[in-house]
Amino acid sequence: MAIKIEKLKEEKKRGILKFMLKGSNEVFANSIRRLIIEEVPTLAIEDIEIKENSSALFDEMLALRIGLIPIKTDLKSYTSKEKCKCEGVGCAQCELKITLKTNKKGYVYASEAESADPKCTFVYEKMPIVKLLPKQKLDLTMTAVLNNGREHTKWTPGWAFYKKEPVITINKVKNPELIAQKSTDNVFTLKNKKLELNEDRIYDSNLLEYYAELDGGISLEYTDNILFTLESWGQLSCKEILHKSSEIFLEKIEEMEKLI
C-alpha cells in the first residue's frame, strides 16, 4: 500500500495541522489517531507536595487543576520511569521538579511556577491556578513525569480526528438565496443571484450534508482520500507528535514480527 501525504493547512500558533492521506484507509488513519491519543508520551504533574495551601480550594481540587495544565516536553531529555536507569527511584532524567510559592493577593498564574528545566515549563502562562485573598499563601513542590494518555488523559498531547474527503457539486439549485443564507461557514456565497462554491472552505465545514438536504441541486460525494486533523495541546508540536507516533508504530510492528 503506497501512502501519500499532502499537507493542506498548518497553523503553528494554534497548534493545528491538517493533511490528506491518499492511498490509505480508515484502519491506518485510526491507528495513527489511537497512537497520538494513547501512546505519544508527554510530561504532566503526577505528585504534589503541598507545604501550605490556605486558598479557597481544597488540596485535592488544587492538585487536579495543576495536573491538567500542559507542560512543554523535551522528549530527548526525559524518559519514563519504567525505562530509566534509576529503575523508578526518581532522577533528573525521569522527573521534573516545579515549585510554586506565593502569598500575593489575586490570581496565581501558571507563569509564576518555577521549573528546574527552563525548556519544560507550563505551556499556557496566563492560565489561572487559584485566586488568593489577603494573608492566604501557597507553597507547592510538584513532580512531573513522562507517561502517555493510555494511563491518564493529562498525558495526551492533543486531539486527532479524520473524515473522508468531500466533493460538492452544484447543479440546478432551486433556492440559491436560502442556501447562501444558511451557509454560516461561507461554503456558499451569492454573487449576481448565482450560487458560488468556495472550495477553500469545504474541508473545514461540518454542514455539507445539511446543504445537500436543503436543496436537491447540491450533490455531496466522498472520495477514498482521508482528511486528517491534528490539534496539539502545546506540550509538543504537531510535527513532533506525528514523528513520535510513527516511531511507536514501527516499534509495535517489529514486536509483532518477533511474535510471529
* H or E element at residue 233: none
How far is Cα of residue 52 from the mean position of the Cα atoms in its chain? 33
Residues 6+ apart with CB under 8 A from 220: 166, 167, 168, 208, 209, 211, 212
Q: Is 196 left (phi over 0), alpha (psi -120 to 50) or beta?
A: beta
Q: How many CA atoms lie within 13 A of 177 on its CB side?
A: 1
Give per-residue burial for 126-159: e unless 16+ CB within 10 Å, then b. ebebbebeeebebebebebbbbbbeeeebbbbbe
236 lies in some domain: no
pLDDT digits (tens, 9 = 90+) for 41-89: 999 999 999 999 999 999 999 999 999 999 999 999 999 999 999 988 8
Grid cell 510538584 in the structure block, residue = 142
- Within 10 angstroms of residue 170's Cβ, the number of other Cβ atoms is 17
49 lies in some domain: yes
Q: Based on the fold, state whether residues 220 and 200 are members of the same structural domain.
A: yes
243 lies in some domain: no
110 lies in some domain: yes
Say what the pTM is.
Answer: 0.89
Q: Based on the fold, state whether residues 142 and 113 are members of the same structural domain.
A: yes
Residue 3 — pLDDT band, cuts 50, 70, 90? confident
Per the structure, the complete domain to which residue 187 belongs is given by 4-38+158-230
Q: Based on the fold, state whether residues 129 and 56 are members of the same structural domain.
A: yes
Indicate the number of domains in the chain.
Answer: 2
143 lies in some domain: yes
- In three-state secondary structure terms, 257 is helix
Q: Based on the fold, state whether residues 135 and 149 are members of the same structural domain.
A: yes
Q: Based on the fold, state whether residues 47 and 32 are members of the same structural domain.
A: no
pLDDT digits (tens, 9 = 90+) for 166-185: 999 998 888 899 999 999 99
